Amino acid sequence: QDPKYPAENLLSEEGIRPWLGCPKEHSRQLSVDLQLERASPIGYIGTSLSPGNYGCAFLQIEVGCSSWPCDQPYLTLVPTVTLMTPADSKLDQNCCRVRMFK
């Protein structure tokens, strides 16, 4: 992860703070596992990162439980959604799109 914008920023309650992958990472795919202290209802998820989605084209959100067996897959909470079209990504357009999921 980028040391200036760590994954902990995703849980920030102090306004919008971005999370970025390591600048040397070139896999074109990022993922983060967040483990909450206790089971918690998820009311909504917002993809708004200041100033935008930083070029993230697709997003998928999965959930699981630490008490599940290791071989049990996560459940899909939000299926893969498009945040940017391939053309937008190539032209560096619409990078500030916001999506909310309830």
User: Three-state DSSP class for 89?
Assistant: helix
DSSP symbol at 11: G
**Confidence label for 27 from pLDDT (cuts 50, 70 and 90):** low
Whole-number pLDDT of residue 53: 55
Average pLDDT over residues 5-32: 74
72, two tokens? 């049990």
Rounded to whole angstroms, how far apart are CA atoms 61 and 23?
A: 23
Does the pLDDT at position 72 exceed 90? yes
Average pLDDT, the chain: 76
| 27 or 77, which is more confident | 77
- How open is the CA angle 82-65-72, to the nearest 5 degrees? 80
| 19 or 48, which is more confident | 19
- CATH for 29-101? 2.60.120.260
**If you average pLDDT over each of 23-27, 35-39, 64-68, which comes out highest?**
64-68
All structural domains of the chain with their residue ranges = 29-101
Whole-number pLDDT of residue 49: 42
CB of 6 closer than 8 Å to CB of 19: yes
